[in-house]
Structure 1
């Protein structure tokens, strides 16, 4: 049933957005004890163990050969490069600047999806993305101002920009793979590719794990199990059932949820400007996912007088 499938895809996208928002809180804790590459590798190893176990239990096996190009590209760009570069970038810039720069990603996804995948760019999608991006910029500016201004090096901005490009490229590469492999297969092997690419950081991971507090290590494991293993699988499930551009626009709900979670779990009371930006993010997502109303056909014989 198309309606049931659409509802399931929307629910899967919702799970992804909530878990990705929670990742920002966990990264803040784990990042104090782990370097960017070690944190990415630990997260990917934890995710690979969970995903591999589920794959074996479900007996899904290897994905078809036609899916491997997309899996390899998304694994290198999104699971590998994105995670390392973003972890590094967030050490060089304040959270607000990082949020603003990385949120170029959904715009790049829509443009690449149109160019590479031949997807259309409906006016509602473009309008919603414009509203959400304005909200993300508002949240970013308010967070930067509240953090005392301005820890934002040129290196950090460039790293966050590279993270946005890697994110967009990974999503657009993953979409064709989902036409051949299941969401679980594509996510599992993409995560494994990313983990293999991050193996040069294995020495750092072992060294830092020996002296890291338990809370930081548990946060790293959490990042691997939930925002990676579960959230990337629900993302792939939803992506297989809609366009890359529409899915990218959905992630604009993340900044609003991060603000809410920081308020609830960290006691960071958001200002009015931050709340307004979060509301804009959510409004833009609603617009981008809405569909124009079908024209109502007048019954025969009911013409206007």
Structure 2
């Protein structure tokens, strides 16, 4: 992987981690003023508008990528993931829900192995094992995972996200979709699914106030529009296992932010778990620098319908 591309992917991941780690707090707080599904529908509908506006400003064609893959990515990565984790937050804590949802990398490795023939190296498997051990120390499941239903929803959301990530990677590998186009169209599909769910579920109405509007704006512009675009950028440029494992930076950063901003100091077990995840990230990142050229599929040439 060329150094500028690698550096840009790392910067994108760091910005993404900052946006998403704080957003778990926002998503929990917003339930004071809205039901989970209606908020999710509003969030992604507005995020979709942001992305399609970006398409027009960039002069990119509005012609969609292949419809079936886009449909599958949108339903798994946007609709199912967001609906499940937002539902999990109704009874589950923000930190615990985020950590359970971010078991996604452990689902992504076997899915990528089967679908993309991305066989993980021994070092990647070892890094995943170390990260899993660290995640378990942070979660402390021997003290319970909170509400069982909430935990299952969060884990299910992570599995759906892994499927969407692998499907997106396959589209990029085949050169069948541009970065911005795929992100916008799959989000449109997922948003429509969330609107249908919100219309069918009986939940409390939205209490429109300044705090809710601010949370909605943060989610629509940053956590949905910009962040999913950054995520697609990372998935396009690094191996699936590396992208998935690197995403663990989000819940780890969330724990640290809670410590700094809210005074929620991690326990000894949590601190040890964070250290293990950090080691795993460091190892897989260092390996990626040496093996990037062999492991990473180069950016496909721009398709005619994607050109300005």
TM-score, with normalisation over the residues of structure 2? 0.84
2: CA distance between counterparts of 1:232 and 1:8? Answer: 16
2: CA distance between counterparts of 1:58 and 1:198? Answer: 27
Deviation at 1:269, TM superposition (A): 2.8
1: CA distance between counterparts of 2:155 and 2:289? Answer: 37
User: Which deviations, in whole Å up to 9, do the C-alpha atoms of 1:187-244 show, x marking residues without a partner?
Assistant: 11111111111112158899733x2442133112211211211111111112111221
Deviation at 1:171, TM superposition (A): 0.7
2: CA distance between counterparts of 1:93 and 1:24? Answer: 11
Alignment check: 8 A CA contact 1:124 1:290 kept: no
2: CA distance between counterparts of 1:214 and 1:203? Answer: 27
Deviation at 1:264, TM superposition (A): 2.9
Aligned to 2:106: 107
User: Which deviations, in whole Å up to 9, do the C-alpha atoms of 1:248-287 show, x marking residues without a partner?
Assistant: 0101111210012212333323333322222222221111
How many residue pairs get matched? 287
Aligned to 2:128: 129
Alignment check: 8 A CA contact 1:43 1:228 kept: yes
Aligned to 2:283: 287
Alignment check: 8 A CA contact 1:34 1:205 kept: no
Residue correspondence of structure 1 range 177-216 to structure 2 within 5 A: 177-178=171-172, 179-200=175-196, 201=198, 208-209=205-206, 211-216=207-212
2: CA distance between counterparts of 1:97 and 1:116? Answer: 30
2: CA distance between counterparts of 1:243 and 1:193? Answer: 25
Aligned to 2:20: 20
Alignment check: 8 A CA contact 1:50 1:229 kept: yes
1: CA distance between counterparts of 2:202 and 2:7? Answer: 40
1: CA distance between counterparts of 2:199 and 2:71? Answer: 21
Uncovered stretches (5+) of structure 1, i.e. residues with no partner = 295-305
Residue correspondence of structure 1 range 7-86 to structure 2 within 5 A: 7-63=7-63, 65-66=65-66, 68-86=67-85
Decide whether aligned partners of structure 1 residues 217 and 266 sit closer, same or farther in structure 2, where only a CA change above 3 A counts. Answer: farther
User: Which deviations, in whole Å up to 9, do the C-alpha atoms of 1:103-128 show, x marking residues without a partner?
Assistant: 33111111111110111201221111
Decide whether aligned partners of structure 1 residues 37 and 292 sit closer, same or farther in structure 2, where only a CA change above 3 A counts. Answer: closer
TM-score, with normalisation over the residues of structure 1? 0.85
- SS for the counterpart of 2:205 is helix
What is the aligned-residue RMSD (CA, Å)?
A: 2.6
Aligned to 2:146: 151
Aligned to 2:215: 219
1: CA distance between counterparts of 2:134 and 2:213? Answer: 33
Q: Which moved more, 1:71-80 or 1:6-15?
A: 6-15
Larger radius of gyration: 1
1:170 lines up with 2:170 in the alignment: no
User: Which deviations, in whole Å up to 9, do the C-alpha atoms of 1:125-147 show, x marking residues without a partner?
Assistant: 111111112222222229x96xx
Alignment check: 8 A CA contact 1:99 1:140 kept: no
User: Which deviations, in whole Å up to 9, do the C-alpha atoms of 1:45-103 show, x marking residues without a partner?
Assistant: 2211211111111111235644x333221111111111011111222334455345323
- SS for the counterpart of 2:287 is coil
